[in-house]
Every structure is written in C-alpha cells, then in structure tokens.
Amino acid sequence: MTMPYPDSTPNAAPLILVTGAARRVGAEIARQLHAGGARIAVHYRHSADEAEILAAALNAARAGSAFTVGGDLARFGAAEAVAAGVLARTGRLDGLVNNASSFFPTPVGSIDRAAWDELIGSNLMGPLFLSQALAPALQASAGAIVNIVDIHAERPLARYPLYSAAKAGLAALTRALAIELAPAVRVNGVSPGPIDWPEDGQFAPEERQRIVDHTLLKRVGSAIDIARTVRFLMFDAPYITGQIIAVDGGRSAHL
C-alpha cells in the first residue's frame, strides 16, 4: 500500500518521525501527535502490516498526513537509511520520537553478542545514529527530540542488566544531545514505569501484582499516559530541554 506523500511546503503541518510506531505505546504516541496537528512518519521494523493500517487510519482522518518507513534500527547503518528515506519524501523534519526498543532478560552469565547487539542496538545505538543523521534537518526547523527512556535507567531491574545499561546510556544521551544541539533543538525524555506488560509472559501474574503494589497510585498506567507526555514535550514545552520525566505512577519515588 502506498501512502500519499505529506506536504513538504514550509507552512505545512510539522512532520514527526516516531520509531517503533506500528504497535502499542508507539502507535498511541503517533495518534496523539497526529491529533495535535502533526504529520507522522510511522516507523516499523517487522510490523509492516500494522504500520500500514495505522498510517491509513491517520490519512483517512486527514489526507496526506502519514506514511510508513521500515528499518531495523538495531543494525548498524540502518538509522542513516531510515533518515534518508524520511527526508527524501518530506524534505524536512520537525520532530523525532525515539521509541523503538527491545526488552528481554539477560541475567549475568547468559549475556552474549546477540543480546548485546539487540539491546544496545535498539535502545542506544539506533537513537544515537538516527538523531545524528537527522540533526541538520531538526536544527533547520528548530525541532525537538523525545526519547523513550525507562525508570530502570537509574534504578536497574533485576535480571535485566543489559537492558538497564542500554536505557541508562539513552538517558545520558538525552542530556548530551540537549547540550550538543542547543539552542536550536530541544531534547527531552520520558521514562515509563509499569505501562503495557510484555506480550511474551516475561512477568508472572504475581510479579505484576508486586510491581503494582509498589506503585504509589496502585495501578498500571496506559500507553496514552506516555503519549500525552510526549505530546506535551513536543508541542507545549518550549522552555524545557535536557529533562527526563518519569511517568510511572510514583513507582520510582521509593524504589
């Protein structure tokens, strides 16, 4: 399915690339930003059909407001190809949301090169090289970057040392990019707590309940909680940069 090309004229609505946007939190971020008036580049890795369905729905709501772009951001060189593909179609970029992420346990003793490449690649390398490749376009538009970090970047999760380290790197990268790209580009992060549980059963029901019980608000959050915060940082926070907002129901307040 070929999506209409979004308008690339200078006065067009802002164009925002959301990585990992085909499903779950990423899809809700795309919907929220689109509802705020943005045009969306819907990035996906494997979920091409779901990405096309989402883009079609966005285009049905507002013609020519979305298109899809594929690429495995955990693979070296893919970020530059994704960036080139987006800019070839639009000629500009106003915002980048680095949401794409892999998440699985790697207890010490089990970590291998494949886990390193996947977790560091998707959670740190991809955002770094994508931000670098798109920095000139974002500087030209005085745009913004929002990175989806994790509360476990600062408080590591047991059995997930490599994922926690990758997200810690992304937290540092968020602040570093805010320095490097100032004053033209704002760079912030959102750190989710318990939002959407993994679909592969990584957390048993009793573990999920323990996590919820340790959350001050005593409930699981939703994808829209994250998406609304991303929308705020992208559209309504012109004097905020270099910050990471925890959206976790208070879980990190007493971890």
Q: Per-residue pLDDT tens for 152-189?
A: 999 999 999 999 999 999 999 999 999 999 999 999 99
Model confidence at 11, pLDDT cuts 50, 70, 90, reads: low
In the block, which residue shows the tokens 């794409």? 100
pLDDT of amino acid 1: 27
Q: How far is CA 174 from the centre of its chain?
A: 12
- List, in order, residues 6 or more apart from 200 with CB less than 8 Å away: 104
Domain count, the chain: 1
pLDDT of amino acid 198: 74
Q: Which helix (H) or strand (E) holds 114?
A: helix 113-120
Task: Specify if 255 maps to a domain.
Answer: no
Task: Specify if 1 maps to a domain.
Answer: no
Task: Specify if 158 maps to a domain.
Answer: yes
What is the mean pLDDT of the segment spanning 105-113?
A: 98
| Residues paired with residue 91 on neighbouring β-strands, in sequence order | none
Task: Specify if 4 maps to a domain.
Answer: no
Q: Which domain holds residue 199?
A: 15-247
Active-site residues, by number, are 163
CATH number for the domain spanning 126: value is 3.40.50.720
Higher pLDDT, 1 or 61: 61
- List, in order, residues 6 or more apart from 9 with CB less than 8 Å away: none
